[in-house]
Amino acid sequence: MTNRTIRRVSTVFALLFLALATRQFYVQVVGAAAIAAKPSNPRHGLLDAYRGRILATDGTVLAQSAGSTRSYAMGPALAQTLGYLSVRYGTSGIEDAFDRALTPPDTTGDPVAQLDEIRAALRGDTLVSRGADVVTTIVPAVQRQLFAELSHYPRAAGVVLDPRSGAVLAIASVPSYDPNGIDAEFAALTADPHSPLINRALDGLYPPGSTFKIFTAAAALDNGTVTMDSHFEDPGYLVIGNYTLHDNESEATGYQDLTGAFALSSNVDFAQIALKLGVDGFYQYLNRFGVGDSLDFQLPAQRAAVPPPASVVPGELAQMGFGQGALLVTPLQMGLIGATVANGGVEPRPFIVRQVVRNGTPASVYSASSLSNPVSPQAAANVTKMMIAVVERGTGTAARLPHVTVAGKTGTATNPLGRSHAWFVCFAPAEQPRVAVAILVENVGYGATYAAPIARDVLQTALENVGS
């Protein structure tokens, strides 16, 4: 072989070595973080055995790892919210939103840390540190009660909040699934037409029906469109141009003041209030309440569907005044509207994780804050009075509790795909609210019949388990 040939071969090998070195540098240094973060990275799966726990607010373990198995103590009762962890299917829920905290520190791209790992292994320690624990605001007794009540129906959802702070005390969606068997059941779950993987409390969009009268009343009282002494005539229908709006099943409420119209849930009266507010006024308060905006929650949640104001004609605005038309909201959104009234007109920012604890020390702390201040304390106090009337003498008497003043509002939301959705939004004690509840049951009928009793039982359990 000539010297020239040797030089050519050497050059080829040098170029190949340079390409290999460049690729190795990219994998180990430049792209290390992105590669490590991929759910398909086998190293990620190895770290799962040392993943942090997810805890209830009282320290009850909700999710933990033992070897290669991730177990969920409450099973279906909190499945969509906690989510799942799967080498094959990735993560969801809190497992996904707080994956970086829960996962042990990955030493990919850090030669010094990798050397420490090797030394630890030689000493008999497998890893230098575990993942952080995530402490939620969930109250187990309330969570179990909520899920048990909703499970009597094929499709339902509910949210329980502390209106003073925005802490989510319980959140449930049915149908559900058991995250302990996610790998075996995933294909069947994704094919299920009832969509058990969907968290209806956060992602289900529904017409709110008459529960939205809480919003309309608060807005109209706050800007002076109506007063508590305003009176309305409801003959069972309202003519708006070429459109005639009817009460539900022609239930005319006659001549009523504002409290009577609210307690008896007159659609005609609240259509009139919405028309008095006008599109500009109505949308001003939608913006103030953040209806249609991000809820700034720690988990992904659907925004409310609100039609563009330019497209809203008088007939549409009238229907939106009592929660129909093109308006669609989640149970969490309605829970926040109820909590805003309970909190004196201040809308709390919802949160479900209150602490991330690493090696026994809080690494992150989440506390009470507000989203906005949409209405005055006086407007909120007057709406509270009307919500008390709903439970004491109106459509929500099924939500009464002994020795506790409950403020609530029923909703029966019509939809084109079947029977009406049943709603109930409430809080208690009305004098100093500690708990707010929003319940939705799909395609069953009246909110007073189906949703109010669920809210009553959940409210009672929550009051027994949530401190003053």
Query: So what's the pLDDT on residue 121?
Result: 46
Query: Is the pLDDT reported for residue 35 higher than 80?
Result: no
Give me 48's structure tokens.
């799962």
Compute the average pLDDT of residues 184-206.
96
Query: Is the pLDDT reported for residue 115 higher than 90?
Result: no
Query: So what's the pLDDT on residue 242?
Result: 84
pLDDT band at 67 (very low <50, low <70, confident <90, very high): confident
* In-domain check, residue 338: yes
| 136, 161, 183 - which closes a domain | 136
Do residue 345 and residue 273 come from a single domain? yes
Query: pLDDT digit string (tens) for 385-405?
Result: 999 999 999 999 999 999 999
Do residue 97 and residue 147 come from a single domain? no
Q: Phi-psi region for residue 59, left (φ > 0), alpha (ψ -120 to 50) or beta?
A: left
Asked if 334 contacts 76 with a C-beta cutoff of 8 angstroms, the reply is: no
Query: pLDDT digit string (tens) for 120-150?
Result: 545 655 555 789 999 999 999 999 999 999 9
Do residue 130 and residue 144 come from a single domain? no
Query: So what's the pLDDT on residue 140?
Result: 98
User: Side chain identity at 87, as an amino acid letter?
Assistant: V
Give the lowest-confidence range in 34-43, 77-86, 235-244, 426-435.
34-43
Measured torsion, CA atoms of residues 430, 303, 279, 321, in degrees rounded to the nearest 10: -40
pLDDT band at 413 (very low <50, low <70, confident <90, very high): very high
| 136, 154, 175 - which closes a domain | 136
Rounded to the nearest 10 degrees, what angle do helices 377-393 and 331-342 cross at?
A: 110
Do residue 132 and residue 146 come from a single domain? no
Query: pLDDT digit string (tens) for 364-389?
Result: 888 889 999 999 999 999 999 999 99
Helices then strands, each counted (H, E), the chain: 17, 19
Helix (H) or strand (E) holding 263: helix 258-263
Query: So what's the pLDDT on residue 105?
Result: 80
Query: So what's the pLDDT on residue 391?
Result: 97
Do residue 89 and residue 114 come from a single domain? yes
pLDDT band at 43 (very low <50, low <70, confident <90, very high): low
* In-domain check, residue 321: yes
* In-domain check, residue 122: yes
Query: So what's the pLDDT on residue 46?
Result: 61
Buried-state track 103-121, b at ≥16 Cβ within 10 A, e below 16: bbbbbbbbeeeeeebeeee
Considering only the C-alpha atoms of the chain, give the largest distance between any 2 of them, rounded to a whole number of Å: 111
Do residue 157 and residue 222 come from a single domain? yes
Q: Residue 12: give the domain boundaries.
A: 3-30
* In-domain check, residue 66: yes
DSSP 397: G
Query: Is the pLDDT reported for residue 110 higher than 70?
Result: no
Do residue 70 and residue 154 come from a single domain? no
Do residue 193 and residue 237 come from a single domain? yes
Query: pLDDT digit string (tens) for 232-284?
Result: 988 988 899 888 888 876 578 888 999 999 999 999 999 999 999 999 999 99
* In-domain check, residue 368: no
Do residue 95 and residue 57 come from a single domain? yes
Do residue 422 and residue 281 come from a single domain? yes
3-state SS assignment for residue 176: coil
| 69, 102, 136 - which closes a domain | 136
* In-domain check, residue 364: no
Where residue 56 sits, what CATH number does that domain have?
A: 3.90.1310.10
Average pLDDT, the chain: 89
Query: Is the pLDDT reported for residue 412 higher than 50?
Result: yes
Share of the chain above pLDDT 70, in %: 87
* In-domain check, residue 362: no
* In-domain check, residue 359: no
Q: Which residues pair with 135 in a beta bridge?
A: 55, 355
Do residue 316 and residue 267 come from a single domain? yes
pLDDT band at 52 (very low <50, low <70, confident <90, very high): very high
Domains held by the chain: number: 3
Where residue 184 sits, what CATH number does that domain have?
A: 3.40.710.10
Best CA proximity match to 317, nearest among 430, 399, 217, 240: 240
Query: So what's the pLDDT on residue 39?
Result: 52
Give the lowest-confidence range in 142-156, 166-180, 232-246, 420-434.
232-246
Residues 6 or more apart from 220 whose CB is under 8 A from it?
226, 273, 276, 277
Do residue 249 and residue 278 come from a single domain? yes
Best CA proximity match to 173, nearest among 147, 206, 141, 193: 147
Query: pLDDT digit string (tens) for 310-365?
Result: 999 999 999 999 999 999 999 999 999 999 999 999 999 999 999 999 988 888 88
